[in-house]
Structure 1
Amino acid sequence: MIPDAAIRPAQNAEAGKASLFNRLFPVNRDLAIKSIFGVWGAYFVFATSRFLYVEQANPDALFVQRILMTSICITLTWLLYRLLIAVRSSGMGAAIFMLTLPTVILANYIAILDQIVFDHQAALFDFSYLFDPVDFTSFDWAYILDEAFTRYFILAGWGALYLALSHSKDVQRMMAHSRQLERVNRESELRALRYQLNPHFVFNALNSVSSLIIDRQNEQAEKLVDDLADYMRAVLTGGADDMITVEEEIAQQVRYLDIERMRFPERLHYFVDIDPDANGWSIPALIIQPLIENAVKFGVSGADQLLNIFISAQVEGDRLRISVANDGRVKILDGQTHDSSIGTGTGLSNIQNRLRALYGQNASLLLANSKDGMAIATIVLPDPSLIFEDI
């Protein structure tokens, strides 16, 4: 085992190195480093490659001088970088100003240093001439102006590239943050919508248990409590926007109907017709629970009559249709749905809100009446790939 005393110096050195880079490049560090060294690295390679077709005296010393000059250019470009980030909160106008007058000054300074460095036939690694007094009268000012013009466009081009890339990075960062907030809000909404179902169901199921106890059907009440516990365990173990297969969803609803049949053994009948192609289709958990709950609540509890519930699921092209039909009629008055067997309010709103949160406008809940006196609620779902996802 390596002692902490041996690890700590290495960690401190690494932290110090990271801290130094953070101080030198406080904003868009990777982008700034890569772009600055990339631009002047490419310039260095291009300038150095001239020895392949132009004969040069003392090429070793000239190579070292080019390294020195490239280092100076990198340093002054870093200075321009600091100027740009200093005015980044002042708007685009301040950034454009930094790419004009200050950049022209830096370009002229580079050109003068270039004249000083390459105007000396220095020996290898001899930089003593840098400390000699500068004789400006001996400068070739025409060369300096031409060189300043070239260096200005390199600096301005780098500055424009950096501003464009940093703006794009900022936009991407804001979009990622926005998507994250949207995802968190959607998950919270889905969690609230899903948990909204559970108290409603528990209330109805406990009423069933209470009725059995009042009728002194203790054995059935005990079995109902056990079945209810198993059902609630399956319901509550999923996530807020948990997706399950059609087969699993139908199995949960059949379990619920079996629980209710213990209360109404002679009056509740249900039938299930599932297309084999639909069994593996992913759908939101408990999406048809409110339809079945309301059918039982308003159909069986509301009158002393037989209630038939039909559950079906078919794949039609790239759509899945899940229908819950039961005895009753749907009445539509003033754009609002009223039904004695399907129910209104929380249940249907819950389904619509969950579909909207998961699929946008790609899913729908439809209510209709059949010719044989059945109220039909149909949920139409698109392919699971159309669920909202964070890209």
Structure 2
Amino acid sequence: MGQMSILTNDRHPLRAAIAMAVMFNLFTLIVFTASGYFRGPESLHESLVLGLPMMLIDGFLGFQLYHVLRWTTDLRPLLRWSIVTVAVLAIALIQAFWDTQLRIWADTLTMTLRQSYIRAATLNTYNSGMLAGLFAFQGAYMALQRNQALLGEARQREREAQMLALRFQLNPHFLFNTLNAISSLVVLRRTDEAESMIDRLSSFLRGSLAADPDRMVAVEDEFEMLDNYLDIESVRFGERLVTAIHLPYELARAQVPPFLLQPLVENAVKYAVAPSRTEVRVEIAARERDGRLELEVSDSGADSEGASAGTGVGLANVRERLRLSYGGDGQMQVDADGQGFRVTLTMPLRIAAAATEPPLTLAA
């Protein structure tokens, strides 16, 4: 963790490079001093006298490689690394001149001036090349982090756009069916029922437009919205539509994507209630199973098997919203046996807060 903080240093390139250079030169100074210690008292004294001024100037000169790497970032690789190589050699030669001159001033030369200069140039070429490599690695690592952050933000925006598109796909589909039903009531001169349906539609749409499509809602709020929707449809179908909603107290505040079940309930009404001449029961239920949340929408309509193929805005919409919200942790199971149709959604159980109201169990 400490090494990664040296590499990134809060993602500020200059601060991170300075930290890297300081650590590198401190390590070099420690090695230089330890080498003098093991060579004997005279060498240790030389290391102590020369080490700090040598590393200060050599470190300052070596740090210029950071600027060279930054200036050549946009060049072609061959040209860039040719320039960096020349810079490494030039800096190493300047460092060697300083190191040799320092030894002359301190009267610690143990070989000829030429030999001392060649030795210093060789060591500094190695050190400067290593420092340039560290700077390059640091820059690449930080660029990778920035790209990963941008990729994460882009994926989040894409997911939000997809969720919003799915939501916009639902609203016109629902509105078309509801307005068509109102139109039918008007044609049949059932004006009181049409007015009641319009009032309930207005209340339903107010809740729909206020909901954030990318924010989780409590199951109790989702079920209340579905109850309002079924109230609208009950005006249209009367006694042919019987509903039941079951929500255990402990699951009332479980979190789910908003309007997740609405397409399933709409399918039940469209494919089970609408074509039937007899009473059809539509049930909505929540339960916990193996530490996961299960939401179920079922109907007793024998003619509802056709819904299993999907309509493009029903099952497919729900399946895609599950994928966007939970990835592989969300599943949908569809069962049709000729006696009815059932869709079961399974997802992680996440409860925002303890429920404060009794469980929701409605029937009409």
Structure 2 length-normalised TM: 0.77
Query: What is the match of residue 76 of structure 1?
Result: 61
Query: What is the match of residue 129 of structure 2?
Result: 156
Match of 1:328 among 301, 310, 320: 301
Percentage identity across paired residues of the two chains: 27
Change (3 A) 1:357 1:308: same
> Does 2:331 correspond to 1:364?
yes
| Cα separation, 2, equivalents of 1:343 and 1:177 | 36
CA contact (8 A) 2:88 2:129 kept: yes
Equivalences for 1:155-174 in 2 at 5 Å?
155-174=128-147
1:5-35 deviations in Å (ceiling 9; x for gaps): xxxxxxxxxxxxxxxxxxxxxx932322332
Give the C-alpha shift of residue 319 in structure 1: 2.4
Give the C-alpha shift of residue 343 in structure 1: 5.6
Which residues of structure 2 form unaligned runs of 5+?
A: 1-11, 352-364
Match of 2:277 among 300, 304, 316: 304
| Cα separation, 1, equivalents of 2:131 and 2:303 | 68
Query: What is the match of residue 342 of structure 2?
Result: 376
Query: What is the match of residue 260 of structure 1?
Result: 233
Query: What is the match of residue 115 of structure 1?
Result: 100
Equivalences for 1:1-391 in 2 at 5 Å?
28-40=13-25, 66-67=52-53, 69-89=54-74, 102-120=87-105, 140-329=113-302, 339=306, 344-370=311-337, 373-383=339-349
Give the C-alpha shift of residue 292 in structure 1: 0.8
| Cα separation, 2, equivalents of 1:77 and 1:71 | 10
| Cα separation, 1, equivalents of 2:310 and 2:122 | 79
| Cα separation, 2, equivalents of 1:241 and 1:262 | 31
Give the C-alpha shift of residue 189 in structure 1: 0.8
**Bigger mean CA deviation after superposition, 209-218 or 30-39:** 209-218
Q: Secondary structure at the match of 1:193?
A: helix
| CA-atom RMSD in angstroms | 3.5
1:140-184 deviations in Å (ceiling 9; x for gaps): 233333333333333222222212221111111111111111111
Query: What is the match of residue 129 of structure 1?
Result: none
Change (3 A) 1:250 1:342: farther
| Cα separation, 1, equivalents of 2:45 and 2:60 | 27
**Bigger mean CA deviation after superposition, 270-279 or 161-170:** 270-279
Code of the aligned partner of 2:340: M
Q: Secondary structure at the match of 2:239?
A: coil
CA contact (8 A) 1:327 1:341 kept: no
1:16-64 deviations in Å (ceiling 9; x for gaps): xxxxxxxxxxx9323223323443466568879999x87979x9xx79x
CA contact (8 A) 1:108 1:145 kept: no
CA contact (8 A) 2:62 2:128 kept: yes
Query: What is the match of residue 15 of structure 1?
Result: none
Aligned length: 331
Give the C-alpha shift of residue 342 in structure 1: 8.7
| Cα separation, 2, equivalents of 1:36 and 1:341 | 65
| Cα separation, 1, equivalents of 2:196 and 2:235 | 9
